Structure 1
Amino acid sequence: MSERVVDPCSGTFPWEGWGACLSWWAGTELGRRDDLARALFGRGRTRVRLADQDVTLPGLGLTVVRYDLGACTWPRPGDGPARMIESPRIVRRKQIEGYWRGTDWDWAADANQRSMLLKSRDLGADHFEMFSVSPPWWMTVNGNPSGAERPDQDNLAPPHRETFARYIAAVTRHARDHWGVRFGSVEPFNEPSLLAWHASQNQEGCHFTVDAQAAVLTPLRRALDERGLGDVRISASDECFYSQATNTWRGLPADVRRMVGRVNVHGYERDDESAGRAALRTAVGATTPIWQSEYCDGEPSGLKTALNIGRDLRSLHPRAWVYWQPVDGSGWGLLTGAYDDTTPHPNGGAPGSLRATVTGVNPKYYVLAQYTRHIRPGMRILDAGRRDTVAAYDDAADRLTLITTNAGPARTVTYDLRRFSRAAGHGDDHAVRVWVTDATDDRPARTYARDHDARLDGRTFPMTHAPDTVTTMEVDNVKP
């Protein structure tokens, strides 16, 4: 038997929410679907249309939305001779439409992704961030929004650094004035240090050295302020790995770091012992907030996702945690998506269309529900003593939430709440409410299922966790 001692005073930090990115899935016709919006951003049980049946899902209640500011435009009659260069490997759904064509604005562009953005707002999402994967193609050195000719080359043309900053600020202001969406932050880079973005990549991307990042961040702050957007913070730098994020942060000049209101990082570095996470948290310092702004993996069971959530919350202390592709294939999505990436383009451009269907639900969807439905914005994340257990406290409701991932054989854990002044449970029987998901690639027996209550004995209670499970426990009438 092992023990988890929950400390209401150690390692606490505020929680802002769980989220999702809208590219690429919402840029397809899936961005028009109300059932997907309700499943991801609502909290009620909702029916979702699959290709061959309907299923009823618990809404995830996501409140953080990251919107992809596109880099692609296509010629229209009367345009000049300049044309966007398309990577030979890119497909249509990964080409995100931009608004500024260099000579005029097209505010009707990117209608599907904007549709899901507004649906998420109407369902209660309240943290919006706009991020850029690449500057518009005509601002790049080679006219290709997938990257420079070599992956170690910066692709934003230096004369367009101010132009790029003004573009981001202008769209941010337009969204506030005309869409009713207040972007609380903007992020001008996406994995800028990764040596992966080149002219033959299968998606948009752009390399930026640390010096080039600094040369964009300064005019971006100025452009936001000039448009009355002083309350919009700059996030940086959305690096792929914790170690890259640490190096980038240390490499930015001190005056530029002061312009950065939040550090964003992606979760693609193998960091089982969390040394990279802890190093980044130390480098950034205790007062600068961090978001885990993008995470995804190809394991449909959700067990790997749950383990990494625990590592992030214990060692990185992010205030929000964002999943990259909620609808995707090959186990990468919470829901399985099928996309048309093969229909030939009549003019020889990128193949595929924006047609898409949802074909299934991965156990990972229910695993994430164990967190998103019970750890809500405004709660405080506490220290639970181990990476496999997340603890959160709701001051308004006097409620403690515990979520444990058991990636192994069955075991019994004793939860010790004696550092709280009171832990009375729910009702006269001192019950602890329990929900369980079997995080397996096979058809799981339990998918966010209400399980038998546990019972407090004083201020402790035992819980036996079955193999490969994620278990959520709620204790009421708890006082720190």
Structure 2
Amino acid sequence: MAEPAPAASKAVSVEIRPRWDTPGKPFEGWGTALAWFANVTGKLPPAQREHLADLLYGADGLGWNIARYNIGGGNAPEATPYLRLGADIQGFWRRPPGVTGTDWWAPDDPAQWNWSADAGQRWWLDAVRTRVPQKDQIFEAFSNSPPYFMTVSGLVSGNDSGLDDNLRPGYEDRFADYLVRVTLELERRHHIHFRTLSPVNEPNTSYWYAANTQEGAHWSPATQSLVLKAVHKALVGQGADTEISAMDETNALTFVQDWAGLDEAARDVIGQLNAHSYDTTGKTAVRDIARATGKRLWMSEVDLTPPGVRQDFGDMRPAITLGEQIVSDINRLQPQAWVLWQAVERETMEAGKGSNWGLIKLDFANTADPAINVTVKYAAMANFSRYIRPGARFLPVDDTDTVVAVRPDGNSFVVVHVNPGLYERRLDIHFPAAKTGYRVTRIVTDKDHRGEVTATGALDAEGLSAPPLSVTTFIVSAQP
């Protein structure tokens, strides 16, 4: 199905009322999970990987400042490879020669640690650190599965049933010790600080079963409580100031279910609430938990592709879908950070197939000289992340296609509007002062533009113009 063509020139008026007197908490920024794509691209030739890092974290790229590092579990060396390309994240353990079984782990033996593991993803830690101002850098570590020798199934992809926990009973302290030691050693070696550590990922779902092709583990709320308290104990024991983030649940409704199932002591050790937004319902319920507890809230993972739209680097529909996801998350969940799942996804080489996940596509199987394909989704992301920077405060707004953020200077603000329709929209925004007192710069991503400045000047009395099928940013500044 082809992308729909815009209708004949005709404008629709949209009235927008921001609540200027109710700014949200300071926004912390944008980023991505490193994980699979970093595992692959961190091993590319220097020119390609440096270019990718500039595109994502460079000042002239997306300007992201958040990176989530995946601490791998790692399958047994003799396991037949079955994980999807890039998802075979190495663990940092080293099994002694000639040893078999699962009871050999002795973490106080330095010979059983392999700090040269996971070179690709670790390269990205340095790439982010050297591109992002230190005051804005935020690193988070997260785990998808314990190492194979701590699991029931002996595999990092899950138990035989996706509804059964895969951590061996009684291994909570050993798993916590593994995560904390890796976190602190990576800090030391890469001169960074992991502000948070997330021990479980999408825990209370049926996704993680042994035949799956990525790392994952089911965790009942009762087991989540045990692990969270064990990680807190390990962090305190090491004198670390890293906070615990949780539960990185797949959607808001399951997050609420997990929260209700945690014991009070487990809730108390959580410093940051992490929720994924792979569904549209329940976001305000998670927002309310954050408000009631006073805990920091992140939207820590999501990506998506519109139904029926095959891989197409220039189709606006994936860009519109991404833009609407961000707007919904910001306005309803009200997180202090927004983090994409995988910024770079594997390019499908067969014509007419593949999805539009990711912002950049490349052939993961070609590690010698892959083509880097920047999609229109990347430009739509830039409409948000280049202009809404750390320290900005989002305002409540009554339009479901718009976000409004006040910049830290207090004299300017940013409006991003997603127009998924076929008609131009004229946005009548209720400004805090007379319209004649502002200048506006308009940046457009649509079928003809990729995050380009298309207009600048005094604010038009008729309102702000958003083209059809576009993500449009307006930088509005008070005139001196």
TM-score, scaled relative to structure 2: 0.84
> How far did 1:453 drift?
2.5
> How far did 1:421 drift?
5.0
| Closer, same or farther: CA 166–450 of 1 in aligned 2, 3 Å | same
In structure 1, the partner of 2:212 is 201
In structure 2, the partner of 1:60 is 62
Q: 2: distance between equivalents of 1:446 and 1:376? A: 22
Q: Secondary structure at the match of 2:171?
A: helix
Q: 2: distance between equivalents of 1:424 and 1:26? A: 48
Match of 1:14, as an amino acid? P
Query: C-alpha offsets along residues 129-159 of structure 1, whole Å, 9 cap, x if unaligned?
Result: 0000101111111210000011111001122
| Closer, same or farther: CA 407–208 of 1 in aligned 2, 3 Å | same
> How far did 1:435 drift?
0.2
Match for residue 282 of structure 1 among 285, 288, 306: 288
Match of 1:471, as an amino acid? T
Match for residue 100 of structure 1 among 93, 98, 103: 93
Contact 1:338 1:356 in 2 (8 A): no
> How far did 1:359 drift?
4.1
Q: Secondary structure at the match of 2:192?
A: coil
Query: C-alpha offsets along residues 425-461 of structure 1, whole Å, 9 cap, x if unaligned?
Result: 5xxxx431000001xxxxx31110111236326xx65
Contact 2:162 2:207 in 1 (8 A): yes
| Closer, same or farther: CA 297–227 of 1 in aligned 2, 3 Å | same
Match for residue 455 of structure 1 among 455, 458, 463: 458
Question: 1:415 aligned to 2:428?
Answer: yes
| Closer, same or farther: CA 86–477 of 1 in aligned 2, 3 Å | farther
Q: Secondary structure at the match of 1:115?
A: helix
Q: Secondary structure at the match of 1:339?
A: coil
In structure 2, the partner of 1:381 is 394
Match for residue 35 of structure 1 among 32, 47, 51: 51
Question: 1:393 aligned to 2:400?
Answer: no
> How far did 1:72 drift?
1.0
Match of 1:117, as an amino acid? L
In structure 1, the partner of 2:378 is 365
Match for residue 244 of structure 1 among 251, 254, 258: 254
In structure 1, the partner of 2:301 is 294
Q: 2: distance between equivalents of 1:391 and 1:298? A: 25
Q: 1: distance between equivalents of 2:226 and 2:442? A: 51
| Closer, same or farther: CA 422–130 of 1 in aligned 2, 3 Å | farther
> How far did 1:71 drift?
1.0
Is there any run of 5+ residues in structure 2 with no aligned partner, and where? 1-12, 95-104, 107-111, 307-311, 313-317, 348-354
Q: 1: distance between equivalents of 2:156 and 2:390? A: 36
Match for residue 267 of structure 1 among 268, 277, 294: 277
Contact 2:140 2:195 in 1 (8 A): yes
| Closer, same or farther: CA 154–399 of 1 in aligned 2, 3 Å | same
Contact 2:419 2:425 in 1 (8 A): no
In structure 1, the partner of 2:99 is none
> How far did 1:29 drift?
3.7
Is there any run of 5+ residues in structure 1 with no aligned partner, and where? 45-58, 76-82, 341-352, 439-443
In structure 1, the partner of 2:122 is 114
> How far did 1:387 drift?
2.0
Q: Secondary structure at the match of 2:145?
A: coil
Correspondence list, 1:405-444, <5 A: 405-418=418-431, 420-421=432-433, 430-438=438-446, 444=447
Match of 2:295, as an amino acid? T
Match for residue 220 of structure 1 among 193, 218, 231: 231
| Closer, same or farther: CA 359–177 of 1 in aligned 2, 3 Å | closer
Instruction: State how many pairs are aligned.
Output: 427
Give RMSD over aligned pairs.
2.1
Contact 1:29 1:356 in 2 (8 A): no
| Closer, same or farther: CA 190–86 of 1 in aligned 2, 3 Å | farther
